[in-house]
Every structure is written in C-alpha cells, then in structure tokens.
Amino acid sequence: MEYKNFESVNPMFKDKVVIVTGASFGIGEAIAREFAANGSKVMLAARSVEKLSAIVADLKAKNLEASYVKTDVTIEGECRNLVEKTVEKYGTVNILVNNAGISMRALFDDADLKVLHRLMDVNFWGTVYCTKYALPYLVANKGSLVAISSVAGFHGLPGRTGYSASKFAIHGFMETIRIENLKKGLHVMILAPGYTESEIRKHALIADGSEQGSSPRNEDKLMSPQHVAKWVLKGIRKKKRNKILTWEGRFTALFQRIVPTLIDRGYYYSISREPGSPIK
C-alpha cells in the first residue's frame, strides 16, 4: 500500500509541549516519535514503564526531548497527575493526543458486560479524564485537542459493540468541546485511521474479557503507524476538524446517512470473512 510523503520537520511544532496517551507501542509511539522529531517536548503516557523508558531513552539518544509518566487512563487521579507532571516539567500543554484505546471482538449476545465497561473506561473515560485536566492549558495556548478514533465512531461495526459505542461517545464529547470553545481558538480534531499495523488486535477483548492473543488480519498489509502519525501533525497544521484516512471510511461516513442498509450489509459481509469471526 502506497502512502503520501510529508515534510518530516515542521517549525510550527518546535518547543510545543505535547502529551500522547497510549504511547508505548503502535500509533501512540509513532505519534510521540513524530512530534519529537519535529522539535516538540513530548510527554509519553501508558502503563508499561519498561516500554516507555526504552522509547524515551532512544529519543534522548537522538538529542530529542521526551519524558514519560506511567499512566492508567481509566484512573482519573493518574490522568490529573500526567498533566500536572507535564506542566511541572515543561511549563504548559499545547497539544493533547488522546490515543489510548482497546478493542473487542465478540457478539453482544455472548459478551460479558465487563467487556463493554472496560472499553468505555479506557477509550471514553480515558479521553474525558485527560481532556478535563489539560483543557485549561490547551485553551490558554489556543492549542490542539486530538482524539484517535475509527470508522467505528461513524457507523456501528458487528462484533465491536463496546468499541463502536466508545468511539461514538468520544465523537459526541469532542464535538461538544469544540462548540463550547468556539470563540476561544481551541482546535479540536477527530482522526480516524483505517486498520493499522499495531498490537491492538492482539489485545482485543473477547466475550469473556480475556485478550484475543492474535490478529485476524495480515498486519504487514495494513496502514503503518508512521503514516498515521504524519497525518496527525498535518491535520493539526491545517486545523482539520475530522480527518478520515481511508476511502472506505470516507464512503462510510457519507453514505451511512444515504444508504445505511447497504453499509450495514457491507460491514456484515466484510467482518464475517475474518478468520475466526464471531459473525456467521
């Protein structure tokens, strides 16, 4: 799959203070690295100290500015601590990228409700908590608030009830924050990649709440995290509102209002063809 190349370094991001959640692997790690490469002061957040420390050490070895705070985004106090530690070290927050998230793969009929609670806790409440404590700084700096979402936030996906519900909730939350701060210069962007090479499918929860353990897709043929990261910076630079990175996603967002039944059938057919799909 071919992707556009973008300018690797943009001076508008130099010395900007950026928080990235879910930064220990995949899209989050790539976003953190991209900001750092563009001269930003990056605070990485995730639960794995081992992974975060290795990434930060690598960035510092390249004379890039980065730090980390161990953060479980499902815990409000830890999200507050993340913002406080960032301000303590760097003085403010210019950009918050809410990337932390998990997925699921199970029919709602079969799923333990704790699976849906977990999805909402990580994906939705993690976004809410981090935004709550970073927002005063973002508004003061006329900065950017970003949420990494999915086509699942525009149209429900079979076998992903908790995931879709959490993404729909994030969209409603982000759009409301945008409107409430309409006259304050805050930039709010929802970015929806396609299927991206990542560990998220390995960690996706199945019906009983355990992790799936393997990906049903050929990860080598998926969108790269680096491509998504470059689009995050480009979207911020161009003050994008919503950015959907695949034609499939764009068609979904457009045509689900015109021919929703056709979109329903398309996703049913597509997901039913995945190896081990719960959709029959």
Question: What are the pLDDT digits (tens) for 6-47?
Answer: 445 788 999 999 999 999 999 999 999 999 999 999 999 999
Q: Is the pLDDT of residue 217 over 60?
A: no
Q: Assign 220 a pLDDT band (cuts: 50, 70, 90).
A: low
pTM as predicted: 0.88
* Token representation of residue 4: 């556009």
Q: What is the pLDDT of residue 7?
A: 47
Q: Which of 154, 146, 139, 127 is nearest to 234 (CA)?
A: 146
All domains of the chain, ordered by start, with CATH?
Answer: 11-248 (3.40.50.720)
Q: Assign 100 a pLDDT band (cuts: 50, 70, 90).
A: very high
- Is 23 in contact with 126 (CB distance < 8 Å)? no
Q: What is the pLDDT of residue 6?
A: 42
Q: What is the pLDDT of residue 221?
A: 59
- Is 185 in contact with 142 (CB distance < 8 Å)? yes
Q: What is the pLDDT of residue 45?
A: 98
**Tokens 């990542």 -> residue:** 198
CA distance 190 to 242: 5
Q: List Cβ neighbours of 166 (8 Å cut-off, separation of 6 or more).
A: 101, 119, 120, 122, 123, 124
What does each C-alpha distance from 47 to 17, 19, 232, 246, 249 come to in angstroms? 21, 14, 23, 30, 30
Q: What is the pLDDT of residue 89?
A: 98
Q: Is the pLDDT of residue 1 over 80?
A: no
Running DSSP on this structure, what letter comes out for residue 184?
T
For range 178-183, the mean pLDDT: 97
The chain-wide mean pLDDT, for the chain, equals: 90
| Choice among 4-18, 39-53, 183-197, 258-272 with the minimum mean pLDDT | 4-18
Q: What is the pLDDT of residue 267?
A: 79
Q: What is the pLDDT of residue 269?
A: 72
CA distance 63 to 51: 19
Q: Which of 30, 27, 127, 152 is nearest to 71 (CA)?
A: 127
Q: Is the pLDDT of residue 108 over 90?
A: yes
Q: What is the percentage of the chain residues whose pLDDT exceeds 90?
A: 71
Task: State the catalytic residue, choosing from 90, 137, 163, 267.
Answer: 163
Q: Is the pLDDT of residue 197 over 80?
A: no
Question: What are the pLDDT digits (tens) for 141-157?
Answer: 999 999 999 989 998 89
For range 214-234, the mean pLDDT: 78
Running DSSP on this structure, what letter comes out for residue 128?
H
Q: What is the pLDDT of residue 277?
A: 79
Q: Which backbone phi and psi does 215 adopt, to 5 degrees? A: -95, 135
Q: Which residues of 242-272 are buried (b: 16+ CB within 10 A; e: fewer)?
A: bbbbeeebbebbeebeeeeeebeebbeeebe
137 is catalytic: no
CA distance 172 to 127: 12
Question: What are the pLDDT digits (tens) for 114-135?
Answer: 999 999 999 999 999 999 999 9
